[in-house]
Amino acid sequence: MAGLVPNEGETLMGELVFKNDESDRPADLEIGLMTDTQGETLAEATINEPTGTGYARQTLTDASWSVTTGVASYAQITFTGGSGGWTGSVTGYFIATKSGGGTQRLLVVEEDAGGPYTIGEGDTYKITPGITFS
């Protein structure tokens, strides 16, 4: 998978690091699946997600991230299609801030080069989130 930090993620990171402004970064992050393609201008408010039984964004708890020299990683996350499967083919995933306190922001998008994937009932889509800073 090839990832990217869209414009609103870049802005948020700059605000956090240089201004110590946490207004758009409440506790924890969330991960979700996308059905559109990535781009610098892709935003949390406009991202398309699959719909159907069993699909929901999942929480990435701040304390559960492992960060070592240049790499942030998280344990595997599994999404499972519910009754009737999902509408919309999965093209990858995204990590966003959670709503609450400020504006929800899209931090990272990761397009799956093997996709898009159709998720039927009982099908799974597994992600092991990892970000390498270079």
* Closest CA relative to residue 31, chosen from 103, 110, 85, 84: 110
pTM of the model: 0.89
* Closest CA relative to residue 44, chosen from 98, 100, 2, 122: 98
Q: Which tens digits make up the pLDDT trace of 37-83?
A: 767 888 888 999 999 999 999 999 999 999 998 889 999 999 999 99
**For residue 2, pLDDT beyond 70:** no
In the numeric block, the tokens 């930090």 are attached to 5
Amino acid of residue 49: E
The whole-angstrom separation of Cα 81 and Cα 53 is 7
Q: Which tens digits make up the pLDDT trace of 99-129?
A: 776 788 888 899 888 889 999 999 999 999 9
How does the average pLDDT of the chain come out, rounded? 88
The whole-angstrom separation of Cα 3 and Cα 102 is 25
Is the peptide bond preceding residue 129 cis, with omega within 30 degrees of 0?
A: no
The whole-angstrom separation of Cα 9 and Cα 4 is 9
